[in-house]
Structures are given as C-alpha cells and as structure tokens.
Amino acid sequence: MTEADTDSPLEEAHLETLSPDTLVMGLLWYIVFLFSTTLHEAAHALAAKLGGDLTAFHGGQVTLDPMPHIRREPFGMVFVPIMTFLLSGGMMGWASAPYDPMWADRHPRRAALMSLAGPMANLSLVVLAGIGIRLGMASGVFEPPDSLSFMRMIEAPEGGMMGSVAMLLSATFALNLMLGIFNLLPVPPLDGSSAITLLMNRPMQERWTQLIRHPALSMIGILVAWQVFGEIFRPFKDLAIVLLYPEYSYQ
C-alpha cells in the first residue's frame, strides 16, 4: 500500500512572542488544522471505498474522528504543526490515506477521482467558511477588518466568544484555501499529480502513473512545490478575497 497525498499548508504570519492570546490563537488554528486534514483524508478514503478500494476503509479512515489519522501520521499531524507554530508562527504538517496501487492501475479514473476528493473537501470548507463570514456580516455580528490578512479575514467588534468564532472562520477559510490549492499542484506526491490523469487517455495515464511513482520524484516534487507555491497561490488568494468581499477593495 502507498500513501495518497501529503498536506502542506503555508501561513504568512510570523509571531514574535508567545503571549496568552498567541497561544489561544495557536490552539484555534490547530483545531482547524486537525479537522481540515482529517476531512481531507476521510474524503480520499470515502472516494476510494465508493470506487471499490477498501484499503483505507479497513484502516478506519472513513471517519471524521482524527484519532485513526493521527495514529497513522502522528509526526505530521501533531508534532510538526505544533512545533512550526511555536517556532515561526506558521503551521504546516501532513496526513495520508492508504490505497491499493493495483486497484489504481485497474481503475485509473477512479483513482484520479479519489485524489481529487481531498482538495475538493478543503475547498468546500472555504466556501462554507465564506458563507459563515457573510452571514455574520449580514446579522451585524461581524465586520470586515480595516486591514485584511489570513490571520484576520473577519472580526467581531464585541469580541468575546464571537471573536473566537471570527478567528475560527478566518483560519478555516485561509488554511483550507492553502491546503486545497497546494494539493492540486500537479507534482508528485501531491494529489494534483494523480488528479490530472482525468485529462489523459488510457495509454498516457499508464505512462504518467508509472513515472510519478518513482521515489526520487516525490522529493523533487515537494521541493518544486514549495518554491513555486507562493507565486501560484497569490492569484487564487486574490480571487478568493474578491469573491468574499466584492464591495471592498483590499490591496
């Protein structure tokens, strides 16, 4: 069995001090990270099950309970995100879901849809967070910030519990947008490298699948993805902000 994907969110902010407010923010971001990666992998596992591969299902990963996913990737889901937040103010990590490569070879289209399911789950959370932000604005609970950042997509004038909700919505919107776009990059071992085969004919699918399974390409792919992601992500981020706030002009 092999791993379905690697999740690597990026964050722009850098925290200078570990104040109580910072630690609370880190906890909220970690909750969002944990739920987002769990949903991502559960979507892979469910899509594989529906397509006839029960590998992840038998591994207990068709679930929104994070524990089976943490047991599979404790380093990527617990240690790395916490340490990167404490050291840099960002949060990154990874998770994975097993699948049967022989099933993928027999059913390349189903395997491609399985790969696409994870990023689509993350982008669905972006849409839901955006709806929550707009509903909060319509009800007067939230208002757009004077200065927009991925740490603060919306704010609650009254603070308190609604301030925490605003932070959760901001984190959900930002983190899942990054997760979704990053994993759609068509380089191994990211989901996009398999999802792109939906655009190929069968002989090309077979040649491409054999190519991206080469172990050395996974390391090269991750390095390339980290290098180019900032430039690729920027227009998607700008578009998301325009769609979220069509009546405002954030620079």
In a domain? residue 41: yes
Return the pLDDT at 200. 93
Tell me which of 18-27, 199-208, 215-224 is least confident.
18-27
In a domain? residue 250: no
Over residues 21-43, the mean pLDDT reads: 91
Task: Look at phi and psi of residue 132 and say left if phi exceeds 0, alpha if psi is from -120 to 50, else beta.
Answer: alpha
In a domain? residue 237: yes
In a domain? residue 216: yes
Closest CA relative to residue 96, chosen from 63, 57, 56: 56
Return the pLDDT at 179. 94
Single pTM value for the model? 0.89
Q: Is the pLDDT of residue 8 over 90?
A: no
Instruction: Name the domain count of the chain.
Output: 1
Which residues, including other chains, have CB under 8 Å from residue 158's CB and lie 6 or more apart? 141
Over residues 115-134, the mean pLDDT reads: 97
Tell me the per-residue pLDDT of 207-229, one tens digit each, with 9 for 90 and over: 999 889 888 888 898 899 989 99
In a domain? residue 249: no
